[in-house]
Structure 1
């Protein structure tokens, strides 16, 4: 297992704006033009509650976990802009800036690049214009990468992960249901993957069952799915040595 796996020093989060633009509902909509994601029947956004929850979340990262929290300025896109995990895949001292399926999210990459470079990570960019890659489709187990092939990430995006992290095996996993790989599974502890109970989760679980020494733990993630991402989606976790 990679040294220091599961140990972090920094967490990068995104601040919410005091108010949302008028295009928020359209951006969140599903369908062919709106793309995969929560549909028109999704629960309405309570912005004040979202601000409170984000404050508590950052407080837990800072006070309970002892991480140095770096807050990026607000970006257009409402709650979706909080999902920083979509924008970068970080392992060791290397960060791969992704190429989100939604073109409207690609303008968010510049602020993420700036903070990663300030923290002295080696930053790599997806240059293949035919690739789509969301970080929420990338799961690192400590020994290898799994990349979910979903409505958000294609095989050329998976190839970008393999080209960047050449010291690790990169395998693909089919993802259905319009979600991301990490919508229903994530690392819960070293050698432990937590997987949800949905049909899409059960289909994707089969490749993980072939990985030796990994424990699978079922977990329901339906509430987190209401905002388009799981708990880990709202931050980038980094491990930076003081002399890095």
Structure 2
């Protein structure tokens, strides 16, 4: 399959710099009881620097940084905005209307990279990139507070070469709040009831067998798998300082270079490791 042959191969990453307003923004779900835990802004900047350094130096990617937007704290969660597979980018319909400016910036970069850009224009569709899991073979789309069935249909309409299945996601979570790909045929999954139910549904809906890597903490189920060419593959995963009990399962992946990364501060806004960048495989012009 074309998707599988290029799965995990990337040349570029789009990220957004941390705005100072990140430290004053309430939790993304907007429905948390009591006061949300405040963001440590200095720590957020440090974590961003480490993350982008890993993308450049350890993964060898060309990193494109969008300027910080003080009026748009959630702009750091760039995965919300776009679903990318191959040379096609589907611009989603984010939950904050104010993010249209961010969409324009990301769209401009994608067009400069000569990507095929498609936009969700159906007013009845809602779609968040953090609800879309591409396995290299097919798409799973979480039906959540952020994404509806019409949004999932837009994924199917855009990426017609791949099967698209929908997975119910309860509460204010995204599908990728507790799962991700930890290799071409391995799904990392958390241990909550929602995560267990989601993986059972995936297994029922797919014709392919995926291995599962179960971690005790749901947020640790969100990883970033990257192929490094002849040098092998790497897996970015949440750090032992954040989730010590979830480190041992990753040792079952001896063929991968394991790279622990902390993102505790953007996580306070509902962010994950994968939501902090858009990864692109830009084929060189012939």
Asked whether the 8 Å contact 1:88–1:96 carries over to 2, the reply is yes
C-alpha contact (below 8 Å) 1:62/1:69 kept by paired residues: yes
1:80-119 aligned at under 5 Å gives the runs 80-119=74-113
More deviation, 52-61/69-78: 69-78
User: Which whole-Å deviations, capped at 9, do the CAs of 1:30-89 have from their partners, x for residues lacking one?
Assistant: 23xxxxxx55443211111111110110000000111110101112332x2111100000
Aligned equivalents of 1:216, 1:241: Cα separation in 2: 31
Closer, same or farther: CA 47–22 of 1 in aligned 2, 3 Å: closer
Q: 2:211 aligns with which of 208, 211, 215?
A: 215
Q: Residue 192 in 1 paired to residue 186 in 2?
A: yes
> Does the CA contact (< 8 Å) of 2:28 and 2:270 recur in 1?
no
State how far apart, in whole Å, the 2-side matches of 1:7 and 1:154 are: 29
TM superposition shift of 1:216: 1.1
The number of aligned residues is 235
TM value normalised by structure 1: 0.90
> Any unmatched runs of 5+ in structure 2?
220-241, 243-263
Q: Which residue of 2 aligns with 1:42?
A: 36
Q: 1:143 Cα shift?
A: 0.8
Cα 1:187–1:28, aligned 2, differ >3 Å: closer, same or farther? closer
Alpha-carbon deviation of 1:208? 2.1
* Distance in 1 (alpha carbons) for counterparts of 2:277 and 2:81: 10
3-state DSSP class of the match of 2:195?
A: helix
2:276 to 221, 224, 234: 234
Whole-angstrom distance in 1 between the partners of 2:121 and 2:184:
32
SS in 1 for 2:188: strand
Please, what is the CA RMSD of the aligned residues? 1.9
CA distance in 2, matches of 1:192, 1:45: 33
> 2-side partners of 1:42 and 1:143: how far apart?
38
Q: Is the 8 A contact 2:29 2:172 kept in 1?
A: no
CA drift of 1:203 comes to 1.5
CA 1:74–1:39 in 2, change beyond 3 Å: closer, same or farther?
farther
Quote the Cα distance in structure 2 between the aligned partners of 1:166 and 1:28.
Answer: 31
Map of 1:13 onto structure 2: 15
Q: Which runs of 5+ in 1 are unaligned?
A: 32-37
- TM-score in terms of structure 2 length: 0.77
Structure 1 partner of 2:25: 24
The answer (yes or no) to whether the contact 2:29–2:270 under 8 Å persists in 1 is no
Aligned to 1:12, what secondary structure does the other structure show?
Answer: strand
Q: Is the contact between residue 221 and residue 230 of structure 1 (CA under 8 Å) also seen in structure 2?
A: no
